[in-house]
């Protein structure tokens, strides 16, 4: 049997509207091709600065691309400007080098040496801004843009400046502000408004930026469309749903995805490709002010056969996501109903039976699931406007007597719509209940394992059916891998397939059959032999990577895929902890048995730590409490410090436990030198230390002294890593009667704060 091709789609995430539309375009285009599987690979925002964002370990998504190579991928579609929108062009080029060797087509991006498809940014922008200038008399237009490192962004900025210059409008630097190109740009939008209180219109780089502008305007008591005209770009769902609706440039991301897929197929067939463009068009909505749909000229447009495609796209906008696979069935049904209706209106028929074919067409159109692709905010106003247009036509043409037929027909259609909407709501709520139940069970099971074994993974996978997922595969590394920010990630050459849900059934995978080479990540004997579209997500918890999970991509996954991945990651961590605990328990039982055989009593253990030679916890507390009592009697201050080694686990994992032990000895030696004869140091836990000091140096002085001692050691040592600690301090005034435990607890709180600012640079390079 011929091996099916696999095409990967590298995107930033799977939750934003633009990416979802592109993915729907790629997947819908692939449905007509029996020999292609599609895998969506989110890599988030490559080389992004992780400061000040909710998830500081988001950088782990970039490792997802390391799974790809010419052996498991026939071709790639790469949304380069999306994944690189928060870094430099140089870094983006560096990333593209990592996937070199796999035939690649860019989408919504341009880079030298790569074929790709982008939007014709100019046509739609020019149409929209010329409307502002010519039709609305606007003379001052500002812009919220973004980084011009990216071709689409630069072209939109340049087009804006060209059209403003063409019509002789004033333009100053203060009329333009760059943003991060997301809805989080409220601060920059507010700055633009404050700097330009006389601005009449604002063009936004994309609809998400426009959402940020809406928020900034709301904070200042300004109303889009009334106080300032607002124009976006992309024609996103959010732009169509917001109030007031957003005037925008329709850049059909679904068609963009379809075109990119077709280009990849052409590339694989040996065709030489270059840069290709898709047309854009301006869509006027309420953010340009009241549209005046009730005037006679606009009413006539609702009965214009040439505008049926426009109204279909406006009202049933969600259908664009699946239209190609569905063969435009719904569009043809809509146009047939409307053509029959318009013909009836223009005819001389005067009986209700002549209107029956139109009513039957409406019923058939609704029965085909039309209402699944719209919402009341779009459909009801359209029907009302259509009704008004028909009545106006009859009034103007002396056919008022026929209004009753149309009124009854439209009322009947509205009743059917309300009933169908109610049924859709019921079905949706039932589906939502199934999804919520599956998610709750997933969360419960991921935190309720008794043993860390392969069956635990299968338990998690078995909960996915309620979310419409029939195929899911959990790949786990032989050992978890610590991966710090900015460090290179060397992916293992193979993984272990711990759980497989194939065509809705759980497969039992013997340990001897689990080893899967990366070349077979998307094509092995456990994966469904049916054509598929899946998403590959990394499994990680903090700085530790556990593997990957591959599962079906559907509408539920777009909105909840990251949640699912987080639960799989949590499960992987819990399973690993349970495995380690089982090993520790086994080792402890063996040690206790040996101790029992040798009749060694626990209370006779040495006061000194065997590894480092300094006091252990018991010894430290005995000596430290004695010092506190003596100092309290003479009114002498005492400093207590709680100290924690940074990154012991990483050093153990990277360099081995011998290096970890060496680091612990270094810490013991340095701390002992710091306190000298005026204090005592103890190792009170695995990587935890404590000291009591009663010399003349202050807490700040001790902190500086310890930091400098470790700096000197790291600059001269021969090991390739840095040994560092974090310290918390608490001063006991001479006559205070605080206990050592309470002083240590206060020092521990100070340590917690200090660890927030610890230096994570482990490697000296």
**pLDDT at residue 516 above 90?**
yes
DSSP calls for 417-434 = HHHHHHHHHHHHHHHHHH
Residues 313 and 154: beta-carbon distance below 8 Å: no
Mean pLDDT of 315-319: 72
Each residue of 99-125: b (16+ CB within 10 Å) or e?
A: beebebbbbbbbbeebbbbbbebbbbb
Give the pLDDT score at 324.
62
What is the secondary structure of 653-682 as a DSSP string? Answer: HHH-HHHHHHHHHHHHHHHHHHHTTSEEEE
310 falls in which pLDDT band (50, 70, 90)? confident
Structural tokens at position 141: 């237009």
Instruction: Please choose, from the candidates 253, 256, 268, 255, the residue with its C-alpha nearest in 3D space to the C-alpha of residue 36.
Output: 268
For the four alpha carbons of 330, 331, 335 and 338, in that order, the dihedral sign comes to positive
636-651: pLDDT as tens digits: 999 999 999 999 999 9
Res. 105: pLDDT tops 80: yes
pLDDT at 28: 86
* Residue of 38 and 468 predicted with greater confidence: 38
The residue among 10 and 604 whose pLDDT is bigger is: 10
DSSP β-ladder status, 533-541 and 36-42? parallel
- Provide the pLDDT for residue 595: 63
Of residues 81 and 362, more confidently modeled: 81
* Terminal-residue alpha carbon distance, the chain: 50
Given this model, what pLDDT does residue 485 score?
86
The continuous run of DSSP H or E covering 728 comes out as strand 725-732
| Confidence class for position 446, pLDDT limits 50, 70, 90 | low
Q: How far, in Å, CA of 593 to CA of 127, rounded? A: 84
Q: Which strands sit side by side in the sheet containing 725-732, from one edge to the other? A: 679-683, 688-693, 638-645, 725-732
Q: Is 168 left (phi over 0), alpha (psi -120 to 50) or beta?
A: left
Q: What is the mean pLDDT of residues 242-261?
A: 89
Contact 205, 156 (CB under 8 A): yes
The answer, yes or no, to whether residue 272 has pLDDT greater than 60, is yes
φ, ψ (nearest 5 deg) of residue 530: -85, 155
608 in Cβ contact with 615 (< 8 Å):
yes
**Confidence at residue 453, expressed as pLDDT on a 0 to 100 scale:** 66
The predicted-structure confidence for 190-199, as pLDDT tens digits, reads as follows 999 999 999 9
Decide: 41 and 522 in contact? Cβ < 8 Å. Answer: no
Q: What does the pLDDT average to over 155-163? A: 93
Provide the 8-state DSSP code for 30.
Answer: H
Pair of tokens at residue 469: 């997922």
pLDDT of amino acid 661:
94
Q: Give pLDDT tens digits for 673-716.
A: 999 999 999 999 889 999 999 999 999 999 999 999 999 999 99
Q: What is the pLDDT of residue 601?
A: 47
pLDDT over 90 for what percent of the chain? 50
Say which DSSP state 681 is in.
E
Q: What pLDDT score was predicted for residue 477?
A: 95
Beta pairing partners, 104:
76
| Residue matched to tokens 């990277």 | 654
Q: Of residues 207 and 312, which shows the higher confidence score?
A: 207
> Residue 377 has what pLDDT?
59
Number of neighbours of residue 310 by Cβ within 10 angstroms: 13
Q: What is the pLDDT of residue 470?
A: 93
Confidence class for position 602, pLDDT limits 50, 70, 90: low
In whole angstroms, what is the distance from residue 524 CA to residue 516 CA? 8
Mean pLDDT of 104-115: 93
The first and second tokens of residue 259, run together, are 């075109």
Query: What are the pLDDT digits (tens) for 521-540?
Result: 999 999 999 999 999 999 99
pLDDT band at 2 (very low <50, low <70, confident <90, very high): low
314-323, 424-433, 714-723: which has the highest mean pLDDT?
714-723
Q: Identify the band that residue 225 occupies on the pLDDT scale cut at 50, 70 and 90.
A: very high
- Tell me which H or E stretch contains 135: none
Enter the tokens of residue 726: 């974090």
Among 58, 27, 16, 12, CA closest to 553: 27
Residue 294 has pLDDT above 50, yes or no: no
Confidence of residue 291 (pLDDT cuts 50, 70, 90): very low
Q: How many Cβ atoms from other residues are within 10 Å of residue 509's Cβ?
A: 19
Percent of the chain residues topping a pLDDT of 70: 86
Residue 281, token pair as written in the block? 């068009």
How does DSSP classify residue 319? Answer: G
How far is it, in rounded angstroms, from Cα 300 to Cα 390?
9
Residues pairing with 282 in the sheet: 249
Burial class (CB in 10 A: 0-12, 13-18, 19+), 583: exposed
pLDDT beyond 60 at 254:
yes
Q: What is the pLDDT of residue 252?
A: 81
- Dist CA 763 CA 765 (whole Å): 5
Please tell me the predicted confidence (pLDDT) of residue 1: 44
Give the Cα separation of 286 and 290 in Å (integer). 6
Per-residue pLDDT tens for 320-329? 666 666 667 8
Ranges 210-224, 458-472, 559-573, most confident: 210-224
Q: Give the three-state DSSP class for 55.
A: coil
289-314 mean pLDDT? 69
DSSP E strands in 569-685: the ranges are 638-645, 679-683
Q: How far is CA 720 from the centre of its chain?
A: 35
pLDDT, average across residues 420-432: 59
Q: Is 529 exposed, middle or buried (0-12, 13-18, 19+ CB in 10 A)?
A: exposed
Q: Are strands 229-231 and 679-683 parallel, antiparallel or unpaired?
A: unpaired
Tokens of residue 490, six digits: 């060397």
- CA–CA separation, 535 and 12 (whole Å): 12
At 71, list the tokens. Answer: 């052996």
pLDDT of residue 586: 73
Q: For the segment 394-415, what is each residue's pLDDT rounded down to a tens digit?
A: 777 766 666 666 666 667 666 7
**Integer CA distances (angstroms), 81 to 89, 118, 137, in order:** 9, 11, 35
Could you tell me if 143 and 106 are in contact, meaning their C-beta atoms sit under 8 angstroms apart? no
Please indicate whether residue 712 or residue 457 has the higher confidence score (pLDDT): 712
Residue 628's pLDDT is what? Answer: 92
Per-residue buried b or exposed e for 593-603, using 16+ beta carbons within 10 Å of the residue's own CB: eeeeeeeeeee
Mean pLDDT calculated for residue range 125-148: 92
Q: How high does pLDDT run on average in the chain?
A: 85
Q: Which residue has the tokens 């700097």?
A: 195
Residue indicated by tokens 């379809």: 258
Kindly report, residue by residue over 356-366, the tens digit of the pLDDT.
Answer: 777 788 778 87
Mean pLDDT score, 78-97 = 91
- What is the average pLDDT across 273-301? 75
Q: Is the pLDDT of residue 107 over 80?
A: yes
Could you tell me which residue, 232 or 312, shows the higher pLDDT?
232
Distance (Å, rounded) from C-alpha 304 to C-alpha 736? 90
Could you tell me how many residues make up the chain? 765
| pLDDT score, position 464 | 81
- Say whether pLDDT at 746 is over 80: yes
Contact 452, 585 (CB under 8 A): no
């Amino acid at each position: 049997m011929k091996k099916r091709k696999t095409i990967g789609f590298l995107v930033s995430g799977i939750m934003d509207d633009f990416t979802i539309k592109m993915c729907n375009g790629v997947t819908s285009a692939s449905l007509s091709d029996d020999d292609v599987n599609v895998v969506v690979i989110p890599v988030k925002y490559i080389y992004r600065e992780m400061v000040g964002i909710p998830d500081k370990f988001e950088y782990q998504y970039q490792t997802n691309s390391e799974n790809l190579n010419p052996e498991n991928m026939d071709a790639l579609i790469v949304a380069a400007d999306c994944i690189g929108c928060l870094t430099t062009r140089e870094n983006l080029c560096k990333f593209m080098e990592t996937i070199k060797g796999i035939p690649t087509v860019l989408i919504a991006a341009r880079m030298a040496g790569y074929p790709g498809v982008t939007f014709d940014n100019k046509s739609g922008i020019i149409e929209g801004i010329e409307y502002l200038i010519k039709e609305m008399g606007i003379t001052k237009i500002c812009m919220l843009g973004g980084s011009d490192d990216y071709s689409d962004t630069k072209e939109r900025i340049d087009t804006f400046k060209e059209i403003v210059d063409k019509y002789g409008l004033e333009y100053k630097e203060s009329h333009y502000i760059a943003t991060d190109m997301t809805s989080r740009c409220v601060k920059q939008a507010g700055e633009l408004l404050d700097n330009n209180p006389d601005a009449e219109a604002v063009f936004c780089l994309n609809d998400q930026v426009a959402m940020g502008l809406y928020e900034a305007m709301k904070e200042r008591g300004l109303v889009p469309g009334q106080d300032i005209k607002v124009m976006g770009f992309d024609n996103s769902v959010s732009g169509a749903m917001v109030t007031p609706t957003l005037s925008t440039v329709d850049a059909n991301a679904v068609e963009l995805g379809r075109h990119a897929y077709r280009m990849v197929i052409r590339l694989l067939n040996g065709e030489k490709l270059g840069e290709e463009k898709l047309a854009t068009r301006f869509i006027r909505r309420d953010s340009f002010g009241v549209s005046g749909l009730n005037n006679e000229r606009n009413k006539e447009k609702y009965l214009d056969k040439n505008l049926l495609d426009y109204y279909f796209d406006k009202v049933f906008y969600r259908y664009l996501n699946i239209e190609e696979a569905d063969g435009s069935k719904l569009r043809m049904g809509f146009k047939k109903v409307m053509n029959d209706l318009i013909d009836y209106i223009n005819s001389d028929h005067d009986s209700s039976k002549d209107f029956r074919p139109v009513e039957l067409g409406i019923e058939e159109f609704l029965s085909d699931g039309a209402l699944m692709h719209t919402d009341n905010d779009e459909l009801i106003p359209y029907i009302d406007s259509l009704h008004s247009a028909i009545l106006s036509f009859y009034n103007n043409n002396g056919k008022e007597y026929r209004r009753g037929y149309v009124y009854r027909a439209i009322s009947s259609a509205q009743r059917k719509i309300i009933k169908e909407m109610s049924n859709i709501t019921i079905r949706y709520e039932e589906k939502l209940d199934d999804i919520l139940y599956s998610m709750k069970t997933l969360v419960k099971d991921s935190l309720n394992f008794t043993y860390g074994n392969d069956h635990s993974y299968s338990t998690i996978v078995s909960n996915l059916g309620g979310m419409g997922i029939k195929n899911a595969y959990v790949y786990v590394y032989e050992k978890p891998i610590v991966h710090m920010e900015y460090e290179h990630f060397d992916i293992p050459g193979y993984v272990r397939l711990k759980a497989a849900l194939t065509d809705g059934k759980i497969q039992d995978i013997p340990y001897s059959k689990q080893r899967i080479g990366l070349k077979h990540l998307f094509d092995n004997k456990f994966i469904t032999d049916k054509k598929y579209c899946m998403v590959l997500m990394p499994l990680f918890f903090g700085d530790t990577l556990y593997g990957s999970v591959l599962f079906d991509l559907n509408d539920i996954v777009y909105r909840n895929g990251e949640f699912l991945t987080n639960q799989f990651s949590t499960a992987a961590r819990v399973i690993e902890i349970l495995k380690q605990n089982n090993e520790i328990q086994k080792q402890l039982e063996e040690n206790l048995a040996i101790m029992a055989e040798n009749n060694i009593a626990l209370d006779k253990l040495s006061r000194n730590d065997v590894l480092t030679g300094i006091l252990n916890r018991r010894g430290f507390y005995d000596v430290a409490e004695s010092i506190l009592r003596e100092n309290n009697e003479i009114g002498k201050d005492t400093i207590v410090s709680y100290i924690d080694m940074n990154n012991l686990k990483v050093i153990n994992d990277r360099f081995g436990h011998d290096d970890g032990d060496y680091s612990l000895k270094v810490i013991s030696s340095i701390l002992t030198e710091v306190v000298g004869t005026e204090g005592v140091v103890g190792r009170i836990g695995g990587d935890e230390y404590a000291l009591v000091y009663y010399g003349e140096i202050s807490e700040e002085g001790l902190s500086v002294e310890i930091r400098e001692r470790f700096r000197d050691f790291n600059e001269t040592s021969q090991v390739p890593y840095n040994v560092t600690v974090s310290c918390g301090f608490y001063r006991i005034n001479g006559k205070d009667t605080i206990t050592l435990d309470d002083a240590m607890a206060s020092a521990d709180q100070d340590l917690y704060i200090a660890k927030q600012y610890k230096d994570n640079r482990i490697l000296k390079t």
